[in-house]
Chain A
Amino acid sequence: MLRFEGLCKSFGSRQVLRDAGASLAAGAHALRGPNGIGKSTLLRLLAGVEEIDSGAVWIAGINLHQAPAATKARLAYAPDECPVYPFMTGRELLAFVAYAKRCAVPTEVLTIVERFGLARHLDTRCGAMSLGTQKKLMLAAAWIGDPAVLLFDEPSNGLDMDARALLIELLREKTKTATALVSTHDQAFAHAIGASVIEFESLQEGA
């Protein structure tokens, strides 16, 4: 479902990714490595947020470079921070993601919103939400459009215990049919979602 080959990325003279590759089937995969090694950069490249220097990414068999819109329609990306328009309310954010994915906000997402305790924050501006609330909103939005691949950067950061447990439950269910690549330092979380651990360094050999 998620495949990438020969990914290279440099920032100036610093090469972050060198010929990275992997092929990930449905299930949960936890990306592990020390801070600053390039895990978030890799997720941004796979999500199409950042330009790739060279290499290729396929999401559900579609090439990201050749058909970016079709590819992005099949993926969900939740960055570690919440870089959304600060004036947007939670409701507007969900509507915007649904607009981009050409669908309505599904009932499943409204249920997730309810279970995360976000219903009372839906009319709050994102800029006025706590980090944990922003995170929950981004994660709930990830379920819009029935994505085949989920890319989550430190998803358990800032979540309370109930939200963390719910995210684990949601990911365990979703990864029966979808691929989740999760960057995390939280080993208990990775274990709880049944993730296979991928050492970042091992990707560089194109494993």
Chain B
Amino acid sequence: MGRHAPALRISLGILLRERRDEALAKAAGAGAIIAGAAGLMAAFDHDARSFPVALLAQGALALQMSGLFRGLHMAHLAAGAFAGALPLPPRWWRPFDLAAVAGFGLPFLALPALLAWLHGAPPAPALAATGAYVLLLCCLRAPQLFNERHAVVLSLVLAGAWVAATIACIY
């Protein structure tokens, strides 16, 4: 990543400097989802229903975090009148945006699985689920940018199908 550090710094800069309020709002929302999931898991007394709750929370977190891609994309387009003249591939920012959003979302995505694991869920499925949801977060970039009008519906459908598939794979 060394050579690509200036490009990655741009994606991180948009996320944490230019659009800091949005990132903080996402973090607060994620905190609320995690708190809700933790509360429900405690209400279930950490029985067999807890791990599916964690999986559902991870799906909700990935869906919520994926909204960050739109702001990043818009910021790159706004700078296109200058950056477009530089010898970079078309949509050069894609891998760096994915890395920035995945890096930002990973601690939040990992927390529900970590809670489930701390209360007796097996570690391998918890780890696999976290990996799957990081992948979901990356995949959600496409529907988020595909069409402004249908972004929410398309993202919701993808996230719902992903959660169902993950639960089916684990159980």
Instruction: Spell out A's residues near B (CB within 8 Å).
Output: 44, 47-50, 68-73, 75-77, 79, 81-88, 92, 95-102, 138, 151
Whether B36 is near chain A, meaning CB under 8 Å from some CB there, is no
Asked if B9 and A49 make an inter-chain contact with CB atoms under 8 angstroms apart, the answer reads: no
Residues of B within 8 A of A97 (CB): 86
Q: Which of chain B's residues have a CB closer than 8 A to the CB of A75?
A: 85
Q: Are A84 and B85 in contact (CB under 8 A)?
A: no
Interface residue SS majority, chain A: mixed
- Range, interface on chain B: 20 to 34
> Interface of B with A (CB < 8 Å)?
3-7, 9-10, 13-14, 17-18, 75, 78-89
**Which residues from chain A contact B13 at a C-beta distance below 8 Å?**
85, 87-88, 92
Bound-state Cα–Cα, A86 to B81, Å: 13
- 30 sampled A-B residue pairs with Cβ under 8 A: A44-B81, A48-B85, A49-B82, A49-B85, A68-B87, A69-B87, A69-B88, A70-B87, A72-B86, A72-B87, A72-B88, A79-B82, A81-B81, A83-B82, A84-B83, A85-B10, A85-B14, A85-B18, A85-B79, A87-B13, A87-B14, A88-B10, A92-B9, A92-B13, A96-B7, A99-B4, A99-B6, A100-B83, A100-B86, A100-B88
- Contact, CB under 8 Å: B88 / A87: no
- Which one, A70, A102, A138, contacts B82 given CB within 8 A? A138
Bound CA–CA A84/B84 (angstroms): 11
Docked pose: A151 CA to B87 CA in angstroms: 15
B16 to chain A, nearest CB (A): 9
Give the contacting residue for A87; candidates B18, B81, B82, B85; CB below 8 A. Answer: B18
A26–B103 CA distance with the chains assembled, in angstroms: 47
Return chain A residues, CB-CB under 8 Å to B14: 85, 87
Note all chain A residues with C-beta closer than 8 A to B85: 47-49, 72, 75-77, 151
| Bound Cα distance A88, B76 (Å) | 12
Q: Across the interface, do A100 and B87 meet the contact criterion of CB distance under 8 Å?
A: yes
Complex CA–CA separation, A75 to B4 (angstroms): 21
Q: How far is the CA of A95 from the CA of B85 in the complex (A)?
A: 15
